[in-house]
């Protein structure tokens, strides 16, 4: 007899309060060191903006120079909402599905974000 597959006893589409990691479509550089904005894709669970600090970390995977242009954005680099970063490592939560990072390399990257989700969609 085959061993049954064990699955969690929750609907996969209910993400409220869960920590999730999302990787977004690649983001082309717009030239120079500047603030870059990224949004979640349609269908991704929203960021729980009811919380003071729902984003746990952001990482931009640089792929033009074998990862040498990757950047890590930690909680201590968070700027106040409504205040764009102006130094390396700074970022801000813009709204329920958008964030900005202060990107230092002028390179294309793939953004990844770990955050506490709000809601979800029922399939």
pLDDT of residue 8: 47
pLDDT of residue 1: 52
pLDDT of residue 120: 58
CA distance linking residue 103 with residue 77, whole number of Å: 12
β-pairing, 55-62 vs 46-47, is unpaired
pLDDT of residue 121: 54
pLDDT of residue 11: 60
Cα end-to-end distance, the chain, whole Å: 31
pLDDT of residue 90: 92
- Residues shown for the chain: 123
CA distance linking residue 79 with residue 13, whole number of Å: 31
Taking the CB of residue 77, how many other CB atoms lie within 10 A of it?
Answer: 19
Low-confidence ranges of the chain (pLDDT < 50): 6-9
CA–centroid distance for 39 within its chain? 8
**Dihedral, CA atoms, 68, 73, 77, 83, nearest 10 degrees?**
100
């Amino acid at each position: 007899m085959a061993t049954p597959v064990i699955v969690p006893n929750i609907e996969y589409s209910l993400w409220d309060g869960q920590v999730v990691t999302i990787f977004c479509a690649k983001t082309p550089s717009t030239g120079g060191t500047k603030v870059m904005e990224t949004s979640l894709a349609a269908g991704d669970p929203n960021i729980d903006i009811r919380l003071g600090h729902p984003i746990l970390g952001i990482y931009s995977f640089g792929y033009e120079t074998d990862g040498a242009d990757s950047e890590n954005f930690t909680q201590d680099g968070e700027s106040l909402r409504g205040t764009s970063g102006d130094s390396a490592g700074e970022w801000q939560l813009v709204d329920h599905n958008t964030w900005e990072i202060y990107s230092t390399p002028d390179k294309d990257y793939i953004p990844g974000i770990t955050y506490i989700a709000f809601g979800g969609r029922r399939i």
